[in-house]
Chains A and B, each alone.
Chain A
């Protein structure tokens, strides 16, 4: 059971480039989330999904897009990268029944936009 797996771990982008951060989970969780963590700050919700085919915006969605074609995968797309998107990105998932409060986080993707 790998849990929540994120790739890549590190990436440097030039301004205006695009990329996709990958996230997959093998716990059959319906709920998945993307957070960003700026240096010395808390985590802010970018997008979330309550199941395959269903996504919704969080606090800071501008500049990002997501899709959820399967239960396992929840990729985050950055279009036209900007320096303000330099951050650590965490994907997370949680149960949809029972103890659905606990978030299981991936190991994070450190992204620098230069």
Chain B
């Protein structure tokens, strides 16, 4: 089955700096790569996703890049703000008719220091 590794496990940045989280996946058949944000005590929520036919996607201060050959993808947060403090999870799956069975990475705890 799919295996997703995520690094680093914790990341501390100064407000206004950039944060980068990296993930690798094992199954070359995976074609969908979302990122979920989980604030303390809350449910995970999708913040951005990318399909394997796209190399990069951006949404305001958040961007995701995908390297299919190397089987890795990254989340980039620019101009970090205190509200970006949370745990971020990457995931991978192969979208097909039988649902979207995501395999998650271990998570990255991001702390933005004011």
Task: Mark A residues whose CB is within 8 Å of B.
Answer: 31, 33, 35, 40-45, 48-50, 56, 58-59, 90, 94, 96, 100-103, 105-108
- Flag whether B58 is at the interface (Cβ < 8 A): no
Whether B43 lies near A50 (C-beta < 8 A) is no
Q: How far is the CA of A58 from the CA of B98 in the complex (A)?
A: 12
Q: What are 14 sample pairs from A and B whose C-beta atoms fall under 8 A apart?
A: A31-B99, A33-B101, A35-B104, A40-B107, A42-B6, A48-B99, A49-B99, A50-B98, A59-B1, A96-B99, A103-B100, A105-B43, A105-B44, A107-B43
Q: Which of B79-110 contact A (CB under 8 A)?
A: 89, 95, 97-107
Known: A94-B100, A101-B32, A101-B49. 20 other contacts (CB 8 A): A31-B99, A33-B101, A41-B106, A41-B107, A42-B6, A42-B107, A44-B104, A58-B101, A96-B99, A100-B99, A100-B100, A101-B34, A101-B100, A102-B34, A102-B49, A103-B44, A103-B46, A103-B100, A105-B43, A105-B44
Whether A43 lies near B99 (C-beta < 8 A) is no
Given A42-B106, A43-B104: A90 and B43 interface contact (C-beta under 8 Å): yes
Whether B89 lies near A43 (C-beta < 8 A) is yes
Whether A103 lies near B102 (C-beta < 8 A) is yes
Q: How far is the CA of A90 from the CA of B106 in the complex (A)?
A: 16
- Report which of B34, B42, B104 forms a contact with A42, defined as CB distance below 8 A: B104
Complex contacts, B4 vs chain A, CB 8 Å:
42
- Flag whether B45 is at the interface (Cβ < 8 A): yes
Q: How far is the CA of A58 from the CA of B9 in the complex (A)?
A: 25
